[in-house]
């Protein structure tokens, strides 16, 4: 399949406030305003374009419906069928726990999209990348939910209740992050999800679900590469601020699912199973810092493990 092409755009010429300061003017005020590109946005515009070209040229398209065993589907009680009950579950609990954590995190893509748009700009190369990233992340949620509703491997009502509570009342907030911190966080975040999904896929014996999680892991690796490359450029453009941003975001990074109040038992379960926990998180941070070539920085040395 031919790789997707994108229209070419020119960078803007405007400059605005200091990009090292947190964006914290309040959502209600900023949502109605058109973002003015500042020095960092303009500096990174061609870098975003180059990475978007690479991302599209190397894509391997996949579709949610290809990973849903629809022959297993049946109506729920409202339409004359039967509702979910625990006897329908065949997968190990650690697997369904990990998948539900992943699904709720993916359901919250709107929160991450909002923060990226608020910190950067929805124009030119930035707009194309943020839209593309959001669409790819949303695909993960679509595929996971379709698989689990059809196979009945999780309670769909309970899962929906958690989704609604998490997205509507908890969500994701990063309005106190600087622009550089936001990019650093996303690089760490995507690497953590790549490791999470690869470890999870290795534990799944059901081939369709294993294939789905493997495809998600590959997307996460590609997303990490994109955001990490932007941070690499920041290290050449504003090194001191970027080192400080790496240290700040690494210090506060938590395991996947830690922000989902209803799933703390599941978070403990997958940590005990070795899928993802504090040990894997420390490795994610250490390996990403090493890959950036900044492991010897005094502010980061304590975060690097052998």
Which residues carry a binding-site annotation for Fe cation?
137, 140, 190, 220, 223
CB atoms within 10 A of CB 88: 15
The single-letter DSSP state of residue 81 is S
Q: Which residues contact 60 (CB under 8 A, 6 or more apart)?
A: 218
Angle CA 29–223–283, to nearest 5:
105
Give the residue numbers of the binding site: 137, 140, 190, 220, 223
Helix (H/G/I), strand (E/B), else coil: 2: coil
| Cβ-contact 282, 306 below 8 angstroms | no
Structure tokens at 85: 């009950």
Q: How far is CA 50 from the centre of its chain?
A: 21
Distances (CA, A) of 111 to 78, 143, 160, 210: 32, 19, 17, 27
Show the CA angle centred on residue 218, arms to residues 214 and 223, nearest 5°. 145
Q: Dump the DSSP string for 139-160.
A: HHHHHHHHHHHHHT-S-HHHHH
CA end-to-end distance (rounded Å), the chain: 41
CB-based contact 134:106 (threshold 8 Å)? no
Phi first, then psi: give them for residue 253, nearest 5 degrees. Answer: -65, 135
Q: Distance between CA 191 and CA 198 in Å, rounded? A: 11
């Amino acid at each position: 399949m031919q790789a997707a092409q994108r229209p070419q755009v020119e960078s803007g010429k405007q400059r605005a406030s200091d990009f090292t300061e947190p964006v914290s003017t309040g959502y209600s005020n900023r949502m109605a305003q058109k973002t003015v590109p500042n020095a960092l946005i303009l500096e990174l515009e061609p870098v975003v374009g180059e990475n978007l070209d690479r991302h599209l040229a190397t894509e391997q398209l996949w579709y949610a419906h290809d990973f849903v065993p629809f022959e297993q589907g049946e109506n729920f009680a409202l339409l004359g069928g039967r509702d979910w009950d625990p006897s329908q579950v065949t997968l190990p609990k650690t697997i369904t726990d990990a998948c539900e954590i992943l699904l709720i995190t993916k359901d919250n893509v709107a929160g991450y999209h909002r923060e990226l748009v608020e910190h950067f700009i929805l124009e030119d190369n930035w707009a194309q990348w943020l839209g593309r990233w959001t669409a790819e992340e949303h695909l993960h949620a679509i595929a996971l939910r379709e698989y689990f509703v059809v196979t009945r491997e999780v309670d769909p009502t309970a899962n929906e209740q958690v989704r609604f509570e998490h997205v509507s009342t908890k969500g994701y907030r990063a309005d106190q992050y600087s622009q550089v911190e936001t990019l650093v966080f996303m690089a760490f975040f995507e690497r953590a999800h790549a490791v999470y999904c690869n470890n999870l896929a290795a534990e799944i014996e059901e081939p369709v679900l294993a294939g789905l999680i493997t495809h998600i892991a590959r997307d996460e690796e590609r997303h990490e590469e994109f955001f990490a490359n932007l941070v690499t450029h920041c290290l050449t453009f504003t090194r001191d601020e970027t080192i400080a941003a790496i240290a700040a975001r690494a210090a506060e990074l938590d395991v996947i699912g830690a922000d989902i109040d209803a799933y703390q038992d599941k978070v403990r379960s997958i940590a005990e199973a070795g899928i993802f926990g504090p040990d894997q998180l420390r490795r994610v941070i250490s390996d990403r810092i090493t890959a950036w070539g900044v492991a010897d920085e005094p502010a980061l040395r304590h975060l690097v493990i052998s």
